[in-house]
Structure 1
């Protein structure tokens, strides 16, 4: 989802100083869409949903009042339909609270258990009582959710742009000076953008150990 937004011209940045209560926000700067995310929310499904949510805002809410519940619900519904199209996921949703099925759906669609439960309720697969019970159990479990899918999707565009400028003789310090941003903030944002991609190095022994390692999942009661 992050690559999709970047491929269509959006610049995605992580703001380390963002409030814990904020997952992400977006803004049009002229003809350039900007998406700002909270790096503390280091969860792949959550980052994908945040990106889709902000795409909904950028497409639908150019002049909307920030923070409006109606606007937020519209962006939420946009993200849910974009990542889990009703016509495709409806037949896969369980009719009762079956966590093993929900885990499989989380891996298949790359979305959080909460968003899948919300989708099941919205599409009529879960009754109100089932939906409330599932959300209560997820709230009791807290973060991170069971069935971890790895760290958040990392943006690439900012780092590539900075490297391209350096190759053409424009240093990072000069870029920051032109931007008018405090150097500490600019450096922090850029450092976050370049540190979030996983670096994996496997040799034969670790590959064998990984293949033999058991997969542990926390299961809620059905």
Structure 2
């Protein structure tokens, strides 16, 4: 079955060394921008599976299921735009959902969302006293983004999972997919599957990708939430 919105991805890095800097154009992120990019494309892929009624194998039950995108969790993402926008265009408008904002002095409250709280501090206060109060208010190791990362993903293997699934839905067989991996990732150090008579390594990647699509459908790509019940 053909996908409506999802296409094979080119690598967005210029050489074999991936930059995992957690800042992007001056913004502080929980993970490198490449992983937010992959989250975006996996949401698009999940929308494709949802709308095209593509069946996946649930890793827990081993049963075929059809995913549904958690519209409430992704409400602020503007899912209609994800279908067709480039990542960079979408990110420019939505990055406030992900970036870690620095403390600023404000004259008027413009953003009353639950991502922030506001303090009134006397100008004559001691720094040590203010610090003690703030430490009590902020959860240790917290991150100021609703869509932060607590899961560990490696960019190149995640990128490969995405492409393997898309190539499969485009009609390529397992041997052809193995050859495509060899061609598209030949300059990179990520572990690549080797062909065997049954194509078991490609099959494992497909099952892992289906599991990640199921997780993504409910917002489990970056953070751990309750599994959906289909």
**TM-score of the two chains, using structure 2 as the length reference:** 0.29
Bigger CA radius of gyration: 2
Structure with higher RCO (Cα < 8 A, 6+ apart): 2
**TM-score of the two chains, using structure 1 as the length reference:** 0.30
**Whose helix fraction is larger, Structure 1's or Structure 2's?**
1
